[in-house]
Amino acid sequence: GAVVSQHPSWVICKSGTSVKIECRSLDFQATTMFWYRQFPKQSLMLMATSNEGSKATYEQGVEKDKFLINHASLTLSTLTVTSAHPEDSSFYICSARDRGGKRGVINEQFFGPGTRLTVL
Amino acid sequence: EDQVTQSPEALRLQEGESSSLNCSYTVSGLRGLFWYRQDPGKGPEFLFTLYSAGEEKEKERLKATLTKKESFLHITAPKPEDSATYLCAVQAVSGGGADGLTFGKGTHLIIQP
């Protein structure tokens, strides 16, 4: 099956610092990647959709200047949490959709293992 | 607004005791309904995609079904290794091309030996 990796798997940082999380599709090309956030005992909430070579599309209520997304290639998207604060502590999960699927046909999203961010 | 409601929130079964998990959804237009399994501290693992009412899919001890309002994940003779949180998500028809998923909160399943 399709494999998606994330790095780092966990990170602890001080309030006010910036943190970068990488999402890579290892054995397929992903035109589109998605970033989700999951708080304890809550569902995954879509933050933004990342398209290769273009600007990300953010969901309502997600600050685009705080959560910077770059999708520089078909296998890599990065999420940078700028000036992180304790309320940004969460489990960040990316997913990737296989570019090889037929147009108009839903392609399964394959999820990474997640990154646990703790802001002190 | 798309909504996904899963029930029960938690379910404890004895090994071998079959049961069903429910996923009710409201969506402007359904492109697909997805079931995932999530273990603690891990990302979701894909199980099934269902596209239209009446569709069924099976994988080992799991069987997913879909109607116009809900989906069921049936688990037959479960084993302790089936313990996990099972997530349901929908993908809505969207002219803008945004294909993110809307997730339910999940059902936390525990299978006791």
Closest Cα in chain B to A41 = B105
Token pair in block for residue A52: 């290769």
Of B31, B101, B105, the CB nearest to A109: B101
Average pLDDT over residues B68-94: 94
Rg, Å, chain B Cα set = 14
Q: Does A75 touch chain B (CB under 8 A)?
A: no
Are the Cβ atoms of B106 and A43 closer than 8 angstroms? Answer: yes
Contacts of A42 in chain B (CB under 8 A): 105
Identify the DSSP state of B81: G
Q: Where are the beta strands (DSSP E) in B39-96?
A: 45-50, 56-59, 62-66, 70-75, 84-92
The rounded Cα B28 to chain-centroid distance in angstroms is 19
Contacts of A21 in chain B (CB under 8 A): none
> In this structure, are residues A113 and A23 in contact, taking their beta carbons and an 8 Å threshold?
no
Of B44, B100, B105, the CB nearest to A46: B100
pLDDT tens digits for range A43-59: 899 999 988 888 899 99
- B56 vs B66: CA distance, rounded Å: 7
The per-residue b/e assignment along B60-86, b for 16 or more CB within 10 angstroms, e otherwise, is eebbbbbeeebbbbebeebeeebbbbb
3-state SS assignment for residue A5: strand
Token pair in block for residue A111: 């999820």
Closest Cα in chain B to A91 = B41
> In this structure, are residues B97 and A37 in contact, taking their beta carbons and an 8 Å threshold?
no
Q: For position A101, what pLDDT does the model report?
A: 53
**pLDDT bracket for residue A99 (50, 70, 90):** low
3-state SS assignment for residue A50: strand
- B91 vs B77: CA distance, rounded Å: 30
**pLDDT bracket for residue B26 (50, 70, 90):** very high
